[in-house]
Amino acid sequence: MMILDPKAWRLQAGLTLASVARAAGIEGRNPAKTYSRYEQGESACPAEIVERLRALSQGQLGAESFHAVRLTWLRANAAPPPAEACHAPP
């Protein structure tokens, strides 16, 4: 069964952001924050990380999971079109 929400999966599994980031091999100054951005859809999750998370979750997470949260984030944070684009020319 595919769980489409990475955060729901993590919480259900009783894992922290840091533990998932570490298990997925996310590196950098703040791996937990990086994973949080993937989980919330603020940043696109790289394919190699998705594959590690698929293995970690025993197939419950996949590209579809991260794609869905990314689309939700993009829709919620889309900039409105410029005012002139909303009006027909005279």
In tens, the pLDDT along 33-64 reads: 999 999 999 999 999 999 999 999 999 999 99
What percent of the chain is modeled with pLDDT above 90? 81
pTM of this structure: 0.83
To the nearest 10 degrees (0 to 180), the angle between helices 6-13 and 63-76 is 120
What are the structural domains, with CATH classification, of the chain?
6-81 (1.10.260)
Query: CA distances (Å), 47 to each of 17, 28, 42, 53, 83, in order?
Result: 19, 17, 16, 10, 37
